[in-house]
Amino acid sequence: MNVPSPSPDSNPLSPKGNCTSRQNKFQKPAIALLLFVAVVGIIIALSHSLGNTRGFALESLGKGYNSASGVNDAGQVTGSFSLPTGDRHIYLWTKDQGMQDLGSLQGGYANACGINNSSQIAGYVYMPNRTVQAIRWTKENGMQKLGTLGGKNSYAYGINDAGQIVGTADTGKGVSHAFLWSEKDGMVDLGALGKGNSQGDAINDHGQVVGSTIIENGEQHAFIWSKETGMRDLGTLGGRESQAYELNNAGHVVGYAETKNGEQRAFLWTPETGMQDLGTLGGGFSRATAITNTGQVIGTAETAGGKSHVFRWAPKTGMQDLGALGADHGLAHAANNTGKIVGSIHFEPAWWIKAWAFICEKLDISFQGYQYSYNQVQAAVWIIPDDPQDSSP
């Protein structure tokens, strides 16, 4: 959690990048190539059946960077997309109307990060004066800035059905802190568990907040916060680092944590059982990015073959491979309570493209086709049939 100058391509206050802490920490070569692109526009005719799991890809109407970052229970999707001019706008996608361009502020560079069941969106905008402002978008008032904690920059990451928003903001004292914003109280500093930075990633309908904080010894740990108890360290799986990404209305938290061997594992934390390692799909790492109110955990994990696949985990079934909808890699970002997962799929280039790119690299020859091939990522939606028995204890 360093605090360099703002950049439109990476959030300097957080490992999230463009609302993508959920994927930026994947350091394996196959997954580091995944870009969060996403949504919107016309649903193209790409549909696959993965056991009981169906899905479809979304083709963007923008050009270049596109991202999908949130989905509500009505199936509305939000994210951001690049215009031919290079500007970036926030969008709202619905099945009936497709993509609606929600714009930006003062020609700024905008990113959406979450959406609630009232279609309110939380995100942030890079302003022309090189500051970053957390924003909320509503149908009634459009896009509004939420302010900071005394410094220059703020980022909004999560929003609940009451319209409360969480994120991170500069304090003006050299650090950034997790915040809770509401129409009644404005932006409230949630503090940290040490003298360093903290960030809020998600908030449930009871006002509980999860995220990460730098603790006294310099390690990054997941936390849960409530008005009654304040900020609580959730620990790790034996390693030095953890990050909480989401929680449900029961206060169950998911994210990733390092083991004593430095491996990254998806976790489920509950007040009763503490932090539980959810395993992998046979590979070296996993990460949980969403949890439903019935207790189903969604995320991304490495397979034994080195691919990244979307997974669903439930107590009775364990971790189930939901695949990549026919692509080489699949990555989950968010999920709703009606069986839809928002993520991206990625196709690797053919072996001869890799070989020629390697030769060009050694000869210091530009080969744009190689990079272009790796950047062919499409937003995707996984549709999972609801099975209450899977998620029952």
Does residue 5 sit within a domain? no
Distance CA 102, CA 262 (A): 41
The pLDDT-based confidence of 32 (bands split at 50, 70, 90) is very low
Does residue 267 sit within a domain? yes
Does residue 345 sit within a domain? yes
Q: What is the DSSP letter of 96?
A: T
Does residue 10 sit within a domain? no
390 three-class SS: helix
Name, of 25-34, 56-65, 93-102, 225-234, the range with top average pLDDT.
225-234
Specify the pLDDT at position 327.
Answer: 82
Q: Which residue has the higher pLDDT, 335 or 83?
A: 335
The pLDDT-based confidence of 181 (bands split at 50, 70, 90) is very high
Does residue 260 sit within a domain? yes
Note down the domain range covering 387: 21-391
CATH of the domain at 234: 2.120.10.30
Distance CA 201, CA 223 (A): 10
Specify the pLDDT at position 3.
Answer: 33
Does residue 286 sit within a domain? yes
Using the predicted structure, report yes or no on whether residue 228 has a pLDDT greater than 70: yes
Name 241's Cβ contacts closer than 8 Å, sequence gap at least 6: 219, 220, 221, 257, 258
Q: How many CB atoms lie within 10 A of CB 51?
A: 11
- In tens, the pLDDT along 19-29 reads 644 333 333 33
The pLDDT-based confidence of 357 (bands split at 50, 70, 90) is low
The pLDDT-based confidence of 234 (bands split at 50, 70, 90) is very high
Does residue 143 sit within a domain? yes
Name 341's Cβ contacts closer than 8 Å, sequence gap at least 6: 71, 290, 298, 310, 322, 332, 334, 335, 381, 382, 383, 384
Domain count for the chain, please give it. 1
Q: Which residue has the higher pLDDT, 42 or 156?
A: 156
- In tens, the pLDDT along 374-386 reads 345 566 677 876 5
Does residue 234 sit within a domain? yes
In DSSP terms, 282 is beta-bridged to: 303
- In tens, the pLDDT along 91-123 reads 898 988 888 999 998 877 899 999 999 999 999
